[in-house]
Each structure stands twice: as structure tokens, then as C-alpha cells.
Structure 1
Amino acid sequence: MDKRLQYLQQRSELLRKLRKFFFDRDFIEVETPLLSSEIIPELHIEPMALSRDATRHPAFLQASPELHMKRLIAEGLSSIFQVTRSFRAGESGQLHNPEFTLVEWYRAGDDMQAGMTFLDELCQSLLGTPPARRISYSEAFHSMLSICPHTATSKQLANCAEHHEVSIPADMPTTDRDEWLNLLLAARIEPKLGLDSPTILYDYPASQAALAKLATRDDGTQVAERFELYFQGVELANGYHELTDSAELRGRLTQVNQHREADSRLALPLPESLLAAMELGLPDSSGCALGFDRLVMLAVGAKSIGDVMAYNKQNNEG
């Protein structure tokens, strides 16, 4: 049998195991819209937009089911998951495809520690791995680059990149700390994470909170309660102790749109239905999104996520 077809059989078995994992823990599976007039604006993700009348009222293929799933949590569901198609413009490569499969879940009552434990258990169940190592964002930068990501200036981060021979893009915004942190993380830290067993990176800089809550640690450092899972140098999942403050989220998303416009990209409509639901009350919860194609790739030993898709950007006309 063709290797790709064998991979698809293995993919189906992993999907069966994944659903059993959630059902055994009393989650319910939900389906939310792939196409919506609303979207969550993100700085580094470009949505796919469709127009209903060619000039106005765009609709977006969803990059994530997040906004609709959080609305369901706000309406009273407590433990939900979804296996869905997600869409992001301009993404292509060994670990990217414009259309891909995302597994996303939310459980009311969970904080960041509970969210990390749940993600770790899922990884162990599907990949047969040992328990994940947990390392803070600060510990990773200190141990691998000898620099503090929370206090270093843009200049210090730039010098660190030069010292570690990181290739610096010609259009690098030299005074943007987060861009320097992202560059150092991608070039010198991520490739070393989870090489022997999965690693969960947590407590991101407060400036990179996205939709996560902020917390102040014992040393006075303010961090985002955000966590990411890496295995064999590949980022598999991104999770949050979810922000529940509607006004704070509106402010963050407005700021994202300001950055998008400064980068000569379109501002995106705010998810007013999610903001309204949060005003009525979003329970304390943890949520996480996992790239299923990447997980399958690692499980079967494939070299690219395209190898474990029935069809992808390169072969979808075949």
C-alpha cells in the first residue's frame, strides 16, 4: 500500500483515540461555524476573507473556533471539544498549510496548571510519550541564551541575536521587544524543545498575552498565563488560562488592529458577539488548540504535514 494511504489509516486511528480521550472525561463534541462575519483579530495571522456582495459585508473562514466555543462556555456548557478545519492565508511549508485540522477544547473551572496537565495527559495518550517537562519562558531564555526575556531591552535582545549568530530579517523593527523575543525563540530555543520528551513552555511575557489572563509571580514579574507544547522541536499546541474581562479583551484587540494598520494591513472587525457574551459572564476556564496534522506527522514519522493529509496545497488538484 502507498505510504500516504498508510498514514491516512494511522491518522484515522489517532482521531478515534482522541475522541475517546475526550468522551471518557465527559466532554461533549460541538460544531461551530467555519464561515462568519466575525473573527478575532490577530497580529501574526491573516484570515481568509470572502465577500457576500463583492464590495461590503465580508465573511471570514475561521482561523480558529475560539470565539464561538467561548460563547458556548459563557452560555453554560462546561467541557467541550471540537475537531475542525481552520484556515489561514499565506501559510505553506513543512509545518503549515492554508487549510488544516485543529483540535480545540475548553473546560470551565481549570486554571493554567490544570490546563497544562490535561494537555500533557492527551499527549501521553495519543503519542505514548513520558510526562512532559515544564519550563517557564524565563527559564528557557536564561538557560539557553543567558538573558532575561522580561527585563532585557530591545538593544540587549539584538545583541543577543548577533552573539548567537541569528539571521536577522532586513525589515526587523529594531525597537520592538516582542519581535526580538519571537526571533530568538524561533531560531535558538524552539528547535531544542521536546527533543527527548514533550516540553511545555509557560508564563509568557505579559505583552504576549493574546487572550490569556495576566498574573504576577512571587518575584514581582507580570506574566501571561499562556502555555505551549513542543515535541521534537515542533510546536503542537497553544493554551491559555482564559481572559474573562470583556473590556480588557476589547482593549487588546483594538491594539492589535492598530498594529495591523501600522503594518499596512487591514483592521479586522471585533467579535462583538463574544464580547457581549463575556460581559454576561465567561466562567474561569482553560482552553487549548492543538494542530492535529502536526501531531499525526510526529506519530507516524512523516517529514511534513502534507504527507499525512489526503490532499494539501501541493496536491489538491491531483
Structure 2
Amino acid sequence: MQEIDWQPTATMTTLRERARLLAEVRAFFAERGVLEVETPVLGHGGSTDMHLASLSLEATTPAGRERLWLQTSPEFHMKRLLAAGSGPIFQLARSFRDGEVGGRHNIEFTMLEWYRPGFSLDNLIEETAALIRHVLGRDPGPLRRRRYRELFREALGLDPFGVGLGELRRLAGERGALDMGDAGRDDCLDLLMSLVIEPELGREGLDVVVDYSASQAALARRHRDPEDGQWVASRFEIYLAGLELANGYDELTDAAEQRMRFAEDNAARRRLGFSEVDVDRHLLAALEHGMPAGSGVALGIDRLIQLALGRASVAEVMAFATPNC
């Protein structure tokens, strides 16, 4: 008989420390009057994002047999609560992304997500940095804002918004030792970001990357780059020790714009031979009803706990990581 490894991937000492740090997260938000909520891990829509792989299942519901989607984050449900008048809310949510396995990833993981009606993106950046320092129990260093374009100019000597696609494919192929001949612009930029730029971020403090390409706005608003008037995404990512910890948005509240972005995502999925993902009509209805303007952020709490406890991988801070689940 084949021996089965049934043991946890984290030690019991680590799991006790994890519980302590999660209590610190809850205390942080309780002090600020942010309500903890729980939302379903299943929904009628999934993430249409090209770079996320949603998992689905067939279930018997009051409507009969239906396809339901395991949520890649609690975003859609939490925005429905915002539209219903919840005020500021946070959640420690079980989330699922197919194929994401490695030292920094797991198919099932815990996402810390919170929303602040009335907050500017700058307000939320400051609060996210405060939360990170609170959980770490130390000051990792100064908070630095880094513009996406400037990072590419410094590391690679190119403007990511102006360089030709052919040159971008060539450079990405060389750096990644891959055939990028048919790759799209964002795929090339993402590869260069992950291989060349990200490993150096957050080495001397908390690095906040802002003003991403408009095509990477996802569910964020867009604004004009003061440099030359190009549209850029109103979002940020925070890095520490080469790890992306958080991804925040000045949240899109326009239902028509969100509907168009969902359609564009699924059209792109079809072009590349990917399966379409069901659009969350409940979210669109909530946006049509009216969601208050504000900002929201998703933070990978497993990664933050990993850094706080000095562990080598997220598996070491999870009770049962893939494939040991």
C-alpha cells in the first residue's frame, strides 16, 4: 500500500503564531471601526481576468443544476454589500485560483480584503502600510512610491507604454528564455516585471508601485498620466522583500464600463482559446443600483504571515497546502 503523507505542512507552533497574527489583523480593523463580514466562496460569476484561472463546479440549487464559480477573491460579493450600505468592511476569505502552486502560491489560500468608502488611493496606501507594519511587529523601512514607467526605464532602459511590440517580445523572450513571438503586450510586460523588476522591490522598505498601464486596470478607475496624458490605471501594488503583498484600486463604480470590461476580457479569452467565464450579473446590478466611491485592497495574508514568521514558503504557514490537502 502506498504510504500517504497526512501530516500538516505547518508545525503546530507556526499555526499558533498564525492564529495570533490573524487576531492582530482583526484588532487592527476593530480599532478603526471596520466591520468584519463573511461572504460565499461560490458565486454565479467568476473572474474574467486573463491572468486568473477560475475554478467552477456543478451544483444542485433551487434553480436546478447550475454552474457555480469558486471565487478568486471576495471582491464581487463585498461590493454588493457596499452597494447595500454596509460602510467600511473587511474579510479574511478563502479564495481559489487554479494552477497557482509554488513557494508563493497555493490553489486555495486566504485573502485579506477590505473596502473604504470615501477613501482616496493615498489614504488606502497609508492604511495598508500601517496594517503590514502592525502584523510584522516591526518597521520594515520607509514607504516609497514608484511609478510603473520609471521602474521599466531604470531597470530596462525602455518606456513600457511607448516601446514597439516587436522589441518588447524580443526582450521578454531573451530574459525569460521563452518564445514570445505571439505574446501580447501585457504578457511581455508582466514577464519582464516578474523576472527583472519585482525581485528588487521592497529591499529597503515598502515599495508602492503606481500608474500601471490602463490595460491592467481590471476593476479600477483610470486617470491621465501627468507626464504625457496617457491613460493609466488608478491602482497600486505593495512589495516587501521581493514579494507582492497587496493590490489596491480606486474602485470602478460605473456599471456600463464594468460590463464592457467583462465583455472585452471574455473576447480576449476566446481569441486565445481559453474558456469564457460567466459574468457576475449580481455585481453589475449592484453597480447600477449605486456603489459609493472609494478604494479597496486585497492582501495575501499567507505571504505576510510567511514574512512575519521568517518562513521560506506559504506552505509552511498553512495547515494543509496543495498537494497535501
Q: Shorter-chain TM-score: what band?
A: over 0.9
Which residue number in structure 1 is paired with residue 40 of structure 2? Answer: 33
Q: Does the 8 A contact of 1:34 with 1:62 survive in 2? A: yes
Offset, 1:56: 5.5
Which amino acid is 2:66 matched to?
H
* CA–CA distance in structure 1, aligned partners of residues 185 and 52 of structure 2: 19
Which residue number in structure 2 is paired with residue 178 of structure 1? Answer: 186
Are residues 1:99 and 2:108 paired?
A: yes
Structure 1 gap segments, 5+ residues each: none
Of residues 28, 31, 34, the one that matches 1:24 is: 31
Which amino acid is 2:160 matched to?
P
Are residues 1:213 and 2:213 paired?
A: no
**Structural mapping, 1:158-307, within 5 Å:** 158-161=169-172, 165-170=174-179, 172=180, 174=182, 176-219=184-227, 220-307=229-316
Which residue number in structure 2 is paired with residue 90 of structure 1? Answer: 99
Structure 2 gap segments, 5+ residues each: 1-8
**Structural mapping, 1:49-128, within 5 Å:** 49-52=56-59, 57-127=66-136, 128=138
Which amino acid is 2:187 matched to?
E
Offset, 1:169: 2.6
Offset, 1:159: 4.2
Offset, 1:118: 1.4
Q: Does the 8 A contact of 1:124 with 1:130 survive in 2? A: no
Offset, 1:3: 7.3
User: How big is the alpha-carbon RMSD for the aligned residues of Structure 1 and Structure 2?
Assistant: 1.8
Q: Does the 8 A contact of 1:173 with 1:179 survive in 2? A: no
Which amino acid is 2:29 matched to?
F
Of residues 148, 154, 157, the one that matches 2:165 is: 154
C-alpha offsets along residues 2-29 of structure 1, whole Å, 9 cap, x if unaligned? 9722221221111011111111111000
Offset, 1:130: 2.7
Q: Does the 8 A contact of 1:34 with 1:86 survive in 2? A: yes
User: Across the two proteins, how many residue pairs are aligned to each other?
Assistant: 312
Which amino acid is 2:161 matched to?
H
* CA–CA distance in structure 1, aligned partners of residues 259 and 277 of structure 2: 12
Please identify, of 179-188 and 44-53, the stretch whose mean Cα deviation from structure 2 is larger.
Answer: 44-53
Which amino acid is 1:94 matched to?
G
TM-score with structure 1 length normalisation?
Answer: 0.93
Which residue number in structure 2 is paired with residue 6 of structure 1? Answer: 13
SS of 2:247 mapped into structure 1: strand
C-alpha offsets along residues 149-193 of structure 1, whole Å, 9 cap, x if unaligned? 12112123234446xx402433x3546211111111011000110
CA 1:8–1:155: 2 relative to 1, 3 Å: same
SS of 2:286 mapped into structure 1: helix
Q: Does the 8 A contact of 2:10 with 2:317 survive in 1? A: no
* CA–CA distance in structure 2, aligned partners of residues 40 and 175 of structure 1: 21
* CA–CA distance in structure 1, aligned partners of residues 183 and 110 of structure 2: 35
Q: Does the 8 A contact of 1:155 with 1:175 survive in 2? A: no
Identical positions, percent: 41
Which amino acid is 1:43 matched to?
M
CA 1:287–1:225: 2 relative to 1, 3 Å: same
* CA–CA distance in structure 1, aligned partners of residues 90 and 195 of structure 2: 32
Which amino acid is 1:137 matched to?
Y
* CA–CA distance in structure 2, aligned partners of residues 26 and 289 of structure 1: 18
Offset, 1:53: 5.4
Q: Does the 8 A contact of 1:120 with 1:131 survive in 2? A: no
* CA–CA distance in structure 1, aligned partners of residues 260 and 304 of structure 2: 34
Which residue number in structure 1 is paired with residue 5 of structure 2? Answer: none
SS of 2:204 mapped into structure 1: coil
Of residues 147, 152, 166, the one that matches 1:136 is: 147
Of residues 32, 38, 43, the one that matches 2:50 is: 43
Offset, 1:314: 3.0
CA 1:173–1:207: 2 relative to 1, 3 Å: farther
* CA–CA distance in structure 1, aligned partners of residues 151 and 15 of structure 2: 36
Q: Does the 8 A contact of 1:244 with 1:278 survive in 2? A: yes
CA 1:269–1:190: 2 relative to 1, 3 Å: same
CA 1:315–1:175: 2 relative to 1, 3 Å: closer
